[in-house]
Chains A and B, each alone.
Chain A
Amino acid sequence: MKDFNKLLKHYRLSLSEYELIKKSLGRDLKPIEWPLFSALWSEHCSYKSTRVHLKNLYTKNKCVLQGPGENAGVIDIGMGEKVAFKMESHNHPSFIEPTQGAATGVGGILRDIFTMGARPMASMNYLCFGASNNNLTPKLLTNVVKGIGGYGNCVGVPTVNGQTTFHESYNNNILVNAFSLGLYQKGEEIFYGKASGAGNLIVYAGAATGRDGVHGAAMASESFDEDSEKKKPNVQIGDPFFEKLLIEACLEVMHKNLVVGLQDMGAAGLTSSTFEMASRAGTGLKIDLKKIPLREPDITPEEILLSESQERMVLIVEPKNINEVIKVFKKWDLECSEIGEITNGHLVELYWGDELLTEISHKPLVDEAPKYNRAFKKPEPSPVEEINIKLKNDVKTEVLKLLSHHHLTTREWIYTQYDQQVGAKTMYACDDYVAQLVLPQTERVLGMALGCRPLMMQWDVSCGAKDSIILPVLQMASRGVKALAVTDCLNFGNPEKEKIMGQFVEALESMNEACRQFDTPVISGNVSLYNETLGENIIPTPATAVVGIKEKVNTFPKPYVEKEGLEIYLVGLKDEKLWQGEWNYLNGMKPKGEGFVNLKDCVSLQKCFLQLSEFTSASQVIGRLGLLRALARLTEKDHKNLNEKDLGVGLEINFNEEGRGEETSLFCERFYSALWCVEPRYSEKLEKIVLEHKNLKFKKIGISKGSTLKFNEHFEINLKDLNNALKRGLSEITLE
């Protein structure tokens, strides 16, 4: 009995799951079947705690060509072009081995994209680290960045945007979420992970199989304890050079129409890729594990099935094309070998040479994986509170102190380690909140932005989850980019706890409501649960990435002011709510706010912003640390402007809000408003457009002028000091 419990623990299956398997098979499990069920029934592969809720997601509209369920989602962006994109977590491995964990996170998501037949064109990352005083933070930050840069730079896919948060909630469980997007040129087809056509060959391509990553998927489905360090051997090792070759070889066989379907060996390696492909196609498979190329000769069949060695693919090839496929891979210096064939029916036969290890239907493993409707208790909405900020210090000192805090300073130290321009399509990258890449064939701009503010999630799960869509959508609109679709990475704690499950359900419903309102379906994504270490759960963090399009190549509105004499407007909701978030946090207090806004009003705001973007010079949506930081960012100069004498353009602001002190107006976040800078000849046009929306308001608050940021008679700071504060950087919390 003790041995049996050990077996269950080793394969991370519960007793009730074991009973379920036995019932479904009508017999006991054979030794080789344990690892199969362990992998495919893991939370990571089966989504067993979340499937009942995920099915309610808004996933379809007329532009969606492929929704969730495939390697990545695909949307039609018009003019014959399509994009595939997805975001995925690599939290657990990155905590244990930050460089490799982050690197293979990037590698894995890239494979999900090119597997669909799209050439990877851009990557982004969403990162959450612990507090700066946590002694793990410098090492994790430094090495995660090294891992992302090292991999992305080498494969030649630009890293164009990112979001980095520091919060003690992530001290022992960091988040590393990687996003990638690929482009289909006119006429290029979507490929699927389907093992169709009896008699077709199963081909293994790419790197040989080693012992790395064995049990990785099951590991990612568990909470951490003191023994996390021991899990290092479960982390995969990446080779971006190999990945680059794999991208080229796979795209070439796809463009030459030599493959029927393909899938990368990601979580749970060969097991999940083959069983899922058979399940999607409704076919059977016959595989000889002895034919798998191995790195070490003594790897067992079980290890082969579970290895998460990187840069490996499974291809389904018609027999007549096999020689041509081998030729293409050979050209790219890659091995590829036939390991089996597709059969009729639904049985997967696993051989070890002549020995039949098992013959098992993919149905109990994939379709019949457990689905739990776990008990949940939704979080209470946060109370509506009065807000009021009053500084004790001198305002000028406070402003410079806050702007230079590592929570708010620019992430230059991070993103200058990423190649942001390879591909020669980059118009704006990490220095702005929306990345913009030019599609040269159709002369349009593809925009992408990340969402989810952990502090807001901590304050109110429902509002925070809506904000994870609203804010990036508005930011995109402020650059003239219309949001089209969303991918998400839902990072939560232990779903077996009612409170955590309640956070998940609430966040998903709220986010979904926002997606519906903006008509931005969720086309792909990933759920990462058990982000829990020693009983401490992370702040619920539904990270999002939003993708959209701007119909012409135009660098306006810019994120900064480039000339004097522009008029500065604050445009927002009439029913605007203020929130004391970042300021409170930095002063050791819990966030509080005046409540939240109506989604329909936010849709009007998006429409209005898109209209304004057509003739305005610069804009900044009010984000963290409110008006102050948005104003400061407007005064920054273009990083591509290398003239050292040029310091940016100053602003003279006169702004008083009824019933609010100047400091409250300055430091509070706003739901939702943006600063717009226009040539005086367009002022009237701006005002007219805003007034056409009955739920919106504007206020002219100043002019661009001189070389200081002047706010009422309250403070005046010269741009040099302001810029130094913003650019103070992260060097004090990195290893270098």
Chain B
Amino acid sequence: MSIAPQPLQSQPEATQGAIISLEGVGRTFPGVIALSDVTFDVLPGEVHALCGENGAGKSTLMRVMAGSFPQDSGTISYRGETVTFASPMDAKRRGILLIHQEISLVPELSVAENIFLGDFPKLRGGRLDTKKLYRDAEHVLEDCGYDLDAHAIVGDLSLARQQMVEIARATAFNCSVVIFDEPTGALTNQEAEALFVTIDRLKKRGVGIVYISHKMKEVLTLADRVTVLRDGKVTGTLSGEKITEREITRLMIGRSLDSYFHRARRRIGEEVLRLEGFGVGGSAKTVDLSIRAGEIVGLYGLVGAGRSELMEAVFGLRKITSGKLSWCGQLREISSPKDAVRLGIGFVPEDRKEQGLVLGLGARDNTSMASLRRLVRFGFMDTIKEQSIFEKYRERLEIKVSTAKTRVGTLSGGNQQKIVLAKWMATAPKLLILDEPTRGIDVNAKAEVHALIGELAESGLAVILISSEMPEIIGLSHRIVTIYQGEVTGDLAAEHVTEDMLVERVMNPPERFADLLIG
């Protein structure tokens, strides 16, 4: 990371020699302004980090750059020419590659076939030039310094190795801009280090890199320049000395962290849930956890550490392999969500669109989905009661819908999330499990959700909060439990927790490196 950042004159559009530059780019979606008047560029051989909260417009920006959809206004120039990308393939052919958070490979095919997917070497008559395919692939892999077998089937590889295949593609296509979207989300430290080496290698060849990450540490070490987005607008571009955590945070949220979160007053009551020797899935690791009424417990761990799996087991969606669960002091078995709801557990799942809502149904129908049992009178649905409950939460949560029948698929992320919350509040739970409750919703809605979580706890609800956003989890929780590979590695009082303390406990302890290396 020794390349000196280019000196930056006042505004980004003045930069010379950019590979790709966006000027005044805007993009709206029905009901949402995702980007407005964004100016952004990438120089050869630099890492330009893109920061911002969820919903700030990062992913829209990178998709516009990678040709997933066009901008509504503004221009994109690539190597000095104004361009319009017809498709992701078009962008890729010109040398812009987006490496998604979700890996976009064909698991059934070999490494070599995946590297050259869509561009297989041909012989006469449509025959595949197998020799050339594997020779070239081995070449590319060698070039990247990857110890991968070109013949291996991608589905058999670890996630980190699959990502290597994606990066090898960038080399194979001779890309001049590579966009990384949260690349280390599912990687171990060791694997992340390997990725940074690759990035360095790409830099040295003059490739421009856009790096999107939530992890401040990575941004601080890797980035030559940092551009921060908020509400679809650029709030600043930093370079050189000016790249500091403080400054980035200020640009991201526009105010200091302390005033942003309001931690609920601690009014702790009786114990609600206790897990002892609780094990899920094939892992032999078990968890002990206890939560009381009025308490917000943050559950922090890397993606894949087993946070969601653990909570899904509590909610009866997964089989428990060992251990005991007590509810309000009594041993209970929860074998289906029905049992969980009957006890008084609510669960706001991670994936709003897949797990949280029926997008084709109306707002009211979605709101009453989890409490249908309570809405039956003489065998029929009590629609009057149902409507009044919907109205109550619509008012309380300030849900913006035109009618009770409006399909929730047409609502913004924030309003959708409020409906999921309303659905669970309508069941009058004692324990609410929130899995990434503010993912992908705008800043205002986020603040509202945060305030709501606090209110709920103050009214005596026990809340388990899973979040990947450290400020959120530190700002809201009373207590933070850290999880690493299905095991509890810390139980901290939130007042004194720093981000470093959390990172330390959720990253793999060094002595475990050896058994993590796969392949």
A binds B: no
Instruction: Give the interface of A toward B (CB within 8 A).
Output: none
